[in-house]
Amino acid sequence: MRMMMDRLPILEDSVDLLAEDILNKLKTRSCVRGLTGVAKIMIKIRTGHVYCFDQLIQQEEIDSSVDGQRQLPHSITPDMMDFFQQFPLFLDTTIYLEPKSNSHLGSPLDMDDSIPVLLSIENISTNPSDPYYLFENISLIV
């Protein structure tokens, strides 16, 4: 019987449930207080097993090519492989914030009661190159 501590929701739950959980956390009072001065948020999460890491690197090479020229790929060093033997999972999180412009601070335009949030979750093991997107306006009034 597996114990609850053995469960890894970031890999085992469906990406739509994970997205809902993350947005629900952002809606909590403690998170909403930290969003003052923010106009927009985008959160990009990629996760998976290290054995899928090559897929991620190949996609990054395609995405980061400039004028048809490929950028140098990331390399996994032998000391990284030792680490991956112990911890075979990865979580790559990128958060983009657009601050409210200084010209709007204190003006009626600054009185928006919500912030648009776009969340992208990609589990390299289950939905590679096909991230799940969830968009929601998070209310600043709790």
Least confident of 2-6, 17-21, 41-45, 81-85: 2-6
pLDDT by residue (tens digit) across 43-88? 999 888 776 766 555 555 555 555 554 443 455 667 777 777 777 7
Give the C-alpha distances (Å, rounded to integers) separating 119 from 59, 65, 136: 19, 24, 9
Q: Could you give phi then psi for residue 103, rounded to 5 degrees?
A: -70, -25
Give the C-alpha distances (Å, rounded to integers) separating 125 from 53, 57, 61, 113: 9, 14, 18, 38
- pLDDT, averaged across the chain: 75
Q: At 39, is the pLDDT very low, low, confident or very high (cuts 50, 70, 90)?
A: very high
Token duo for residue 43: 């959160």
pLDDT by residue (tens digit) across 89-140? 778 899 999 998 875 555 554 457 889 999 999 888 777 788 899 999 998 8
Give the C-alpha distances (Å, rounded to integers) separating 108 from 31, 126, 139: 23, 45, 17
